[in-house]
Amino acid sequence: MGDQQLAEILRFKSILLCEGLEVSEDVIQAIQKVGIQFDMGRQGGAGPAGGRYFKFSNGSMVNTPLYRAPYEYATYRLKSISPTYEVQLESKEDKESKESKESKESKESKESKEDKESKESKESKEDKESKESKESKESKESKENSKIPNNHPPITLIPTPGFYSQTNEEEIPYKKIALMHGDETLATTINQRCRYWEGNQQCQFCGLELSLRSDATIEVKSGKQLVDTIGIARSEDSQYAKHLTLTIGTTPTQDKGMQEYLDVISTIRQTYPKVPIHIQIEPMKDMTWYQRIKDAGANTIGIHLEILDNDARSKICPGKAHISKETYYQHWDHAIAVFGKNQVSTFILTGFYKDLNQFKEQLREALSHGVLPVITPARHLNGTHLPPTYTPVADFLEILKFTAKMCREFGSDPTANKAGCIRCGGCSPLIDAYRLQDGE
Ligand code: SF4
């Protein structure tokens, strides 16, 4: 794939991540009529507030939030999805200009017949020719306009997996145990409780316990339940569950949930010795856990700082902010020594900085430790404490290009990551930006 196409995918993926898509009820019904199971997608749980997953022609995935119309921040709205899942979007500006053209045409058609006839009779041959030439111009313009809604890289909808409608031997729906993020990553939160929710100290963007309250999931997932879910997912599509993302709320224990991970991973490894597994954790007290969890079978680890600026971090993540940035740096360094280069990551949310250059400086400092960042725009999720938060697409692209450059400077390579959010790329176009830079 050429640089031009990679650049278009990077740009469009960034638009979808930063702005999401507007969707109207009529369009949802029309999509359902062609036999596609379509809803607004994941509304809580692990990772940034989800929606639906779309795929670009080069395999890159995007976890796109969907917002009911009218939604002023989205440039694009969903227009249709074909029975073979090709997605058609339209730029709202294009639609508005089309509507205004249609309204003009409709006004013209209201001209009285008499007026029209009288007008026509007055038309000289030359006038007629000039009208014909105008019509031909309009038809050309209209053809060009009709291309505008497709003026984005082609994307397809990732269909809702069939196993979501099945239940396991305990009669628990599989979709309450784990979900497909994109078409390769099976993801779950192994314990859906977090100590910070109890004292209202949770991260403002987090939807962890919301999905529990809405009965979208179960509180704790066992290794056996996950083994069964991997099995049913793979039997439906061999692409499914190629790698796993396991996350957890912060437990009120010193190990921060490492023992729970160890039990789950040990069970998965008995049936699936090779499936790459990613886990996510907050820095714990006893750093020997990194080696123990690696030995149990975890391949990659995310230790999520979330927000670079300390003041914003204390406000947005009041519970987690008691752990200093320096502690994160120590844990990243140690985890890289255990898991290896390119296997340690951190979520970094955009949308909270006041000064982009300062953000880049802070990012550079973090990346100098060799950690890979899942750079993603913060998104508002209904029911959370986070007010609507928006990252301008131009800023996001600048940050991504800078990050890709920093990765090279510090010898990090996101394409070498074995499992989880960096490999998935649904929430962050880091790999897209890195590949593009490769060609520069
Ligand atoms: S990057 Fe992928 S696996 Fe991670 S939260 Fe986003 S969609 Fe899920």
Q: Which residue has its alpha carbon closest to ligand 1 atom 5?
A: 47
> Angle 223-236/258-271 helices, nearest 10 degrees?
50
Q: Quote the pLDDT of residue 385.
A: 78
Considering the chain, what is the average pLDDT of its residues? 88
Interval 396-418: pLDDT, tens: 999 999 999 999 999 999 999 99
**Looking at residues 103-120, what average pLDDT do you find?**
51
Tokens at 71, concatenated: 């939604």
The neighbour count for residue 11, using CB atoms within 10 Å, is 20
- Which protein residue has the closest C-alpha to ligand 1 atom 1? 421
- pLDDT for residue 43: 62
In whole angstroms, what is the distance from residue 220 CA to residue 234 CA? Answer: 22
Nearest to 366 by CA among 319, 318, 313, 322: 313
Tokens found for residue 364? 């550079």
Mutation test residue for ligand 1: of 181, 189, 372, the one with most atoms within 8 Å of CB: 181
Mutate to test the pocket of ligand 1, among 55, 240, 424 (most ligand atoms within 8 A of CB): 424
**What one-character DSSP code corresponds to residue 383?**
T
State residue 342 phi and psi, 5-degree precision.
70, 10
Going by the DSSP 8-state scheme, the letter that residue 187 receives in this structure is E
Q: What is the residue extent of each domain of the chain?
A: 3-84+156-438
Q: How many CB atoms lie within 10 A of CB 194?
A: 23
Question: What's the 51 CA to ligand 1 centre distance in angstroms?
Answer: 11
Higher pLDDT, 366 or 113: 366
User: Average pLDDT for residues 62-87, to the nearest whole number?
Assistant: 94
Average pLDDT over every residue of 78-103: 80
Instruction: Please state the rounded mean pLDDT for residues 174-184.
Output: 97
The model's pLDDT over 345-384, given as tens digits with 9 standing for 90+, comes to: 999 999 998 899 999 999 999 999 999 999 999 987 777 8
Write the Ramachandran bin of 310: left for phi over 0, alpha for psi from -120 to 50, otherwise beta.
alpha
Model confidence over 305-315: pLDDT tens digits? 999 999 999 99
Atom of ligand 1 nearest to the CA of 46: 5
How far apart CA 75 and CA 429 sit, in angstroms, is 19
Assess whether pLDDT exceeds 50 at residue 132: no
Nearest atom (ligand 1) to Cα of 182: 7
Closest residue CA from atom 6 of ligand 1: 427
Residue nearest to ligand 1 atom 3, measured at CA: 421
Q: What is the pLDDT of residues 185-228, one digit of tens each?
A: 999 999 999 999 888 899 888 888 888 888 999 999 999 999 99
Arithmetic mean of pLDDT, 83-89: 96
Superfamily of domain 3-84+156-438: Aldolase class I (3.20.20.70)
Q: Which range among 105-109, 178-182, 190-194, 195-199 shows the weakest confidence by mean pLDDT? A: 105-109
Mutate to test the pocket of ligand 1, among 427, 428, 430, 431 (most ligand atoms within 8 A of CB): 427
Question: Of 86-90, 251-255, 371-375, 388-392, where does mean pLDDT reach its minimum?
Answer: 388-392
| Residue 377: strand pairing partners | 350
For residue 387, what pLDDT band results from cuts at 50, 70 and 90?
A: confident
Q: How far is the CA of 181 from the centre of ligand 1 (A)?
A: 6
pLDDT of residue 146: 38
Distance 245 CA to ligand 1 centre (A): 8
The structure's pTM equals: 0.87
**Closest atom of ligand 1 to CA, residue 278:** 3
**pLDDT at position 118 over 60:** no
Least confident of 29-33, 131-135, 253-257, 342-346: 131-135
How much distance in Å is there from the Cα of 59 to the middle of ligand 1? 15
Q: How far is the CA of 421 from the centre of ligand 1 (A)?
A: 5
Please report which confidence band the pLDDT of residue 320 belongs to, taking 50, 70 and 90 as the band edges. very high
* Alpha carbon nearest to ligand 1 atom 4, residue: 421
Ligand 1 centroid to Cα of residue 145, in Å, is 35
Residue whose C-alpha is closest to residue 404's, from 431, 371, 426, 365: 431
3-state secondary structure of 279: strand
CA distances from 151 to 64, 88, 145, 263, 296 (A): 18, 10, 10, 49, 48
Of 79-88, 89-98, 406-415, 416-425, the one with minimum mean pLDDT is 89-98
Section 161-176 average pLDDT: 98
- Under the banding of pLDDT at 50, 70 and 90, the label for residue 1 is confident
Ligand 1: centre distance to CA 330 (Å): 25
Quick one: which H or E segment has residue 52? strand 52-56
Residue 133 has pLDDT above 90, yes or no: no
141 or 203: which carries more pLDDT confidence? 203
Task: Please tell me the least confidently modeled range out of 10-14, 205-209, 293-297, 345-349.
Answer: 205-209
Write out the two tokens for 76.
């694009």
Question: What's the CA-to-centroid distance between 63 and ligand 1, angstroms?
Answer: 7
Task: Choose which residue among 180, 421, 432 to substitute to test ligand 1 binding: the one with the highest number of ligand atoms within 8 A of its C-beta.
Answer: 421
Ligand 1 mean position to 274 CA, how many Å? 20
* Ligand 1 pocket, Cβ-based, cut-off 6 angstroms: 46-47, 63, 181, 185, 187, 245, 421, 424, 426-427
pLDDT at 389: 82
Please state the atom number of ligand 1 nearest to the C-alpha of residue 245: 3
Q: Whose CA is nearest to atom 8 of ligand 1?
A: 181
Per-residue pLDDT band at 103 (split at 50, 70, 90)? low
From the CA of 50, give the closest atom in ligand 1: 7
Cis peptide before 318 (omega within 30 of 0): no
CA 35 – ligand 1 centroid, Å: 27
Q: Is the pLDDT higher at 1 or at 292? A: 292
Report yes or no: 439 and 415 within 8 Å, Cβ to Cβ: no
Atom of ligand 1 nearest to the CA of 424: 2
Amino acid 438: pLDDT: 61
Q: How many CB atoms are closer than 10 A to CB 127? A: 12
Q: Look at residue 96 in the predicted model and tell me its pLDDT.
A: 58
